[in-house]
Structure 1
Amino acid sequence: MPRPVTTLPKAHLHLHFTGSMRVETVRELAEKHHLRLPDALTTGYPPRLSARDERGWFRFQRLYDAARACVRDEADLRRIVREAALDDASEGSRWLEIQVDPTSYAPFVGGITPALEIVLDEAAVVSREGTTQVAVIVAASRIRHPLDARTLARLAAQHAGSDPGTVVGFGLSNDERRGVTAEFAPAFGIARRAGLALVPHAGELLGPTAVESTLEAIRPDRIGHGVRSVEDPRVLEQVAESGVALEVCPRSNVALGVYASTAEVPLRAIVEHGIPVALGADDPLLFGSRLADQYQLAREALGFTDDELATLARGSVTASCAPADVRAAALADIDTWLATPPTD
């Protein structure tokens, strides 16, 4: 019998704030605020998604926006952080870096600073109470002006730290077909000077050229997705030489139509090229798949052994911004998981 992936210690480095919500939570918040949800989040759940073209991305974004519109007060923000931590804890996650753009929630709590501070405060609270330690990545959006990204980078810098309940990284998300990556470089410069990890998205909806331009313009510590770097051996080698870790989200890749099946996700090619990998769930609300499911998919669809799953878990921990003691404990417990014979 294989060892359960839910007890494999790991870190979770690619989880979006709105996308982390339980579908039951979205429905309850919609009822609380007297909002109507699309059928895809009620009777038609889980939604059928694709982002291979603009129409498919628009539908994905519309559902995402509908869920985000249900988050309208401090209690809602705190609930999302708490439930994300609880869900991660149930799946063996020791360290969670949840990604949030406070701009989305600012109108309801008095601005981007209060929005971020609420999230940070709850992250600190749940970290003291539970087994999963929670830190925050502030993410700018590619569909907004690069000057907005600088504003967010300065805000992130003011709350920079290395402990739970602090900002540990700065990202760039949304449709990577929009915006010019190099124009966001000044924002990442602000984050770099504050000691934050640089963790932009690239190489899921666009091919290896997007990964290459991100490496050149931003010099990231990690790249969200990056899977399509395998389409160009030269770019794949660049990724390997850079030491950048890739946050691979298999279910996301399939749900958005990047690959037809999990078996096509090039996780093994990436790992065999010596590139560090951290598996992530991305947006469980819309993809119907949480963190442990990504490890199960690697096992069932890609043939990863328990030794290889342990290597992936180690990669997630070492690529994280977790404090040294959290890393050391998680790595030791990964060894214990692997050394313990599986039971019936």
Structure 2
Amino acid sequence: MPAIFKGLFLILMMTVFWLTPVTAQNNGDYQSHPGDSSHSEEGFDAGKFVIEHVLDAYDWHIASFGDKHFSIPLPVILYSKSPELHGGKKLHVFMSSKFHHGHDDYKGFRISHSEEFNGKIVELDEQGHEIGRPLDFSITKAIAGALVSVIVLFSLLFTAVRAAKHSRGKAPSGVQNFIEPVIVFIRDEIAKPSIGEKNYKKFMAPLLTLFFFILLNNLLGLIPIFPFGANVTGNIAVTLVLALFTFFVTNINGNKHYWKEIFNPDVPIWLKLPIPLMPLLEVTGMITKPFVLMVRLFANMLAGHLIVTVFLSLIFIFSNLMGPAAGYGVSPVSILFSVFIMLLDVLVSFIQAYVFTLLSAIYFGMATADHH
């Protein structure tokens, strides 16, 4: 139910922003980040502000004070498709600070502001015209955030393992007291009922990996302080990889009965010949299952970040429409609602990690179930 309300509110607010763009001057000079080519007279654009703060970026924006932007540059790794434009050099590695917030070219590359490649690095010809995208292996904000979460996760797990070794026969405490009940819950309430007593052990590692990675990234994304705050699970590329992980684990471990039910199900022959109707439906189901996993996690986590940004944008919108006093007046309401949504997102973070893990376990169980 909370996800439904969030979705409806998100659609309403974004529709208002897109149909009625609102701008406000910020001391006569405003420059959005990242990679905004707007000039100072364009001012604050609510729709652009909301969207850009949930998109991926080539640097990690920390704060802005007037026209001063403070950010952490990230490595840019490009493989040129036109090495003749770069003296035969194909691989290019440099820091994103070389782009100066997306306004300058560097070594024949640029962060594009075109409609087709907006926000992406493009390759330039000798006249400075965009000729397409190179192969981009850059460490973006989403990737950096994922790496931070991996470091935090390994630290927590290794700490729990050391505590478990030193406190055998004793009641768990500290980090172990948090990690151990979660592992037992996933084993007894997700893996065993969904996969069965016979096969559940071989799937505990992927299930625990999915649950802890998703949960930690969901929660760290709600902390608006560097090195946290990256919207990792609100990035569809990340949720795609997680969904593909479930897809490959499911199909690699599928038994003979699983594949028989896909390509030769026990249905009337006219549903299989001359048109393989049921096999086509089963193969489609193989694809739609991970697709649903990908979209559900992405949409729920993205919606939370968008709604918080929408509420904060209301301060500048009211300030523009009715003066600074209105902006100050609405700010307590906007902040309170933002805090409420973030607290709701804490609950959603646990729910989404649980749902993704549960559905993955069900798919694993379907792939390894014995024929009855």
Which interval holds the TM-score relative to the shorter structure? under 0.3
Q: Bigger relative contact order, structure 1 or 2, given CA contacts below 8 A and separation 6+?
A: 1
Bigger radius of gyration: 2
Could you state the TM-score of these two structures normalised by the residue count of structure 1?
0.26
Question: Greater share of strand residues, 1 or 2?
Answer: 1
Question: Greater share of helix residues, 1 or 2?
Answer: 2
